[in-house]
Amino acid sequence: MNVPPPPGLDAKAASPPLWLLLELTYRCPLHCAFCYNPTDFAKTSTELGTDDWIRVLREARKLGAVQLGLSGGEPLSRDDLEDIVAEAHTLGFYTNLVTSGVGLNERRISALKQAGLDHIQLSFQDSTRELNDFLSSTRTFDLKAKVAALIKQHDYPMVLNVVLHRLNIDHVEAILEMAERMGADYLELANTQYYGWAWHNRDQLLPSREQVERAEQATARFRERVGERMKVYFVVPDYFERRPKPCMNGLGSIFLTVTPDGTALPCHAAKMLPGLDFPNVKQHPVDWIWRDSPAFNHYRGDSWMKEPCRSCPEKHKDFGGCRCQAYLMTGDAANADPVCDKSPHHHLVEEAVARAGRTSPDRTRTEKPVLIFRDARNSRTISGCNG
């Protein structure tokens, strides 16, 4: 998810967790190869009950949380979603449902509307049925198109999200036209960020620089034609940048995630970070977790930074980038995000991009790349867990 820092807010220690993301479940009917969920999700066998989620909502709202993401997995897999939305709405959250659309029928969308749901973000994997269904390892394209119509019918702003990568980025023009036909108000073209399953499949998913440039040009042409009628966000893949993204506006600054079993994280990918004991909402109040827990304080501020970040004049602009990316690529989460060209590890990013440039996207497509899809069996195989 793309989280723009709210303007006018500093990354002060223990400012409010403005963004609360509840990953209600890891159950998902889709098996997307670019999913950011942890590859060992199958180890999570328990989910918080309705009462626990509602307590989390109340405690986080008291701290100043205001934007609520309901995600997963597929949040519609939970039959108490309507109750959770209703409570969130009463508390004053702006409620965002992040969904594949699977499970959203007339009955449920009416109930969610009545409960006060503010916004639905619907994902598509591609503009074509063939690739949508291949990438998600399901037959869901036609269903999603129906759900898009249902969203419109219920007078929601229509917000579509398409994750881009090597296999669909050349279809950007068709994706934009599909969104326009459906009457989308917003389209987020989010280039894959390489965590979880996407990290596992990175070499099959990373586009070439030429592909990214063509997609940006197509987006610019579309914006010129369509103007304000539809807003298009093109989230540039950070591997092609020279400065890192201000990930989460710094850990512990505005963003709080709670995973299905109640583990609280300062970023939805942070569970991978070694040496941190992430607290669980079943054992601790959210207030303590956010303000006082060692895990949430570890990467607050800049005292954890090493060179070149520590003395960098831009450290309060990008906060050293992403801790997870630093850990995945360099083995040390306190290193600079290697996307930064000041990082001594920047060559790792350049090499990945160069590899992507050498493989023609056409060849990748005709040969059907070997993607590892997000499902429980693969999860158990990757994480060496038999549970």
Residues lying near another protein in the complex (CB under 8 A):
1-4, 6-9, 16, 18, 63-64, 66-67, 69, 92, 94, 96, 118-119, 121, 155-157, 159, 185-186, 228
Query: Which residue lies nearer to another protein by CB, 254 or 326?
Result: 254
Task: State the nearest-atom distance from the C-beta of 7 to another protein, in Å.
Answer: 7
**In the block, which residue shows the tokens 């996307």?**
339
Is residue 154 within 8 Å of 97, Cβ to Cβ? no
Torsion, Cα of 27, 32, 33, 38 (10° steps): -30
Query: Which residue lies nearer to another protein by CB, 32 or 65?
Result: 65
**In the block, which residue shows the tokens 């195989």?**
381
Task: State the nearest-atom distance from the C-beta of 67 to another protein, in Å.
Answer: 6
Task: State the nearest-atom distance from the C-beta of 64 to another protein, in Å.
Answer: 3
- Estimate the share of the chain in helix, then strand, then coil, as percent rounded to the nearest 5: 40, 10, 45
Is residue 309 within 8 Å of 262, Cβ to Cβ? no
Task: State the nearest-atom distance from the C-beta of 13 to another protein, in Å.
Answer: 15
Residue 148's contacts (CB-CB under 8 Å, 6 or more residues apart) are 101, 122, 158, 160, 182, 184
Query: Which residue lies nearer to another protein by CB, 94 or 347?
Result: 94
Query: Which residue lies nearer to another protein by CB, 9 or 354?
Result: 9
Task: State the nearest-atom distance from the C-beta of 285 to another protein, in Å.
Answer: 17
Query: Which residue lies nearer to another protein by CB, 187 or 269?
Result: 187
Is residue 330 within 8 Å of 345, Cβ to Cβ? yes
Return the DSSP state at 280.
B
